[in-house]
Amino acid sequence: MEPIKIVLRFVNGMVVKGSTRDFSANKDCFHLIPADSSSNGAIEVLLKDLKAVFMVRDFIGTPEYNERKKYVEGEKPSGKKIEVTFTDGEVIVGSTLGYDRNRQGFFIFPADPKSNNIRAFVISSAVKSIRQL
């Protein structure tokens, strides 16, 4: 499997960038190779410690870009359009194909196609509320 560029957002507020080859929504942990590491050593990451795993186009992004938090009239994404509010107050808007509150998490695809995030795996325990749009 090719490495996937990811940005990890932990429930404690910490952010770590790196790549993984073994992330799975069905497992409790995976391995991260930190982007700022000079070694090839991977660290184990437990999903229960995370808020979300963001699969990204690159690690820099465009800081001055204001990602849109709504759908444009007529856009028809696959799945259900939702607004996710995390326990820390952050809000993301996108679509999901398989939200189930009984699972440890779910994937969301951003409403803004120009987002640096390709998709995110949201950890259910870090979610305050979900609203269908």
Look at strands 91-96 and 80-86 and give their pairing.
Answer: antiparallel
Res 102 pLDDT > 70: yes
DSSP string, 51-80: EEEEEES-SS--TT-----SPPTT---SSE
Domains of the chain: 4-58+68-132 (2.30.30.100)
Query: φ and ψ at 66, to 5 degrees?
Result: -100, 100
pLDDT in tens, 26-60: 999 999 988 876 666 888 999 999 999 999 998 88
pLDDT of residue 49: 96
